[in-house]
Amino acid sequence: GAVVSQHPSWVICKSGTSVKIECRSLDFQATTMFWYRQFPKQSLMLMATSNEGSKATYEQGVEKDKFLINHASLTLSTLTVTSAHPEDSSFYICSLTGTGLWTQYFGPGTRLLVL
Amino acid sequence: GIQVEQSPPDLILQEGANSTLRCNFSDSVNNLQWFHQNPWGQLINLFYIPSGTKQNGRLSATTVATERYSLLYISSSQTTDSGVYFCAVTIQGAQKLVFGQGTRLTINP
């Protein structure tokens, strides 16, 4: 499998600020990365799919100008929540896949609290 | 789009008990997986099982693709089995996983 890290693991910020979350593949070159959000006691909701070097593909209803995704290399993808508001508070999880992997491997998640 | 339904939504058991979790899906799938989300939020791959039966220790899974359901069996439950179990599917030609709503399992000592 693949080992995936996320940083930070949790973050508290004030309303109106921007927050960047990093997702790193520690031992695998990930051609595709995914970003999910999960509200308490709910399922995972896919936000966007990103391929290295290409623009991300966003799911219906996800604002691409609010959730900026950059997949700059085969080992790093970032999600920036711009002008965060309390309703953006959630658990954000990344996953990755690539050649030779039969499934997605998930990071440990980032808890975001916007005050 | 495809619908994935899991049952039961919640399950509370005593340590040592056995359990069966069910996943129904509304259309043909290319891939079906079971995940365990531990209390800290980490998702762990349990099974990749588009069809047939697989076993891994106390856990086993069966998917009957023609009838569009999958079952996850947990035997001799331990407190560390607590968490949320998700079923997720992909359809032909797509990479993205569609998750069910999960079954929240609580194992009491």
CA distance B100 to B107: 21
∠A2-A5-A9 over CA atoms, to 5°?
Answer: 150
Query: Which residue is listed with tokens 């709503």?
Result: B101
Q: In Å, how far are A7, A111, B71, B104 from A77, measured between CA atoms?
A: 11, 17, 34, 30
Cβ-Cβ contacts under 8 Å, A38 against chain B: 41
Q: Which residue of A has its CA nearest to B102?
A: A43
Cβ-Cβ contacts under 8 Å, A46 against chain B: 96-97
CA distance A13 to A81: 11
The predicted model gives B52-74 an average pLDDT of 97
Q: Which is higher by pLDDT, A97 or B37? A: B37
Q: Which is higher by pLDDT, A104 or B24? A: B24
Q: Return mean pLDDT, chain A.
A: 93
Report whether A11 contacts A113 (CB < 8 A).
yes
CA distance A85 to chain B (A): 22
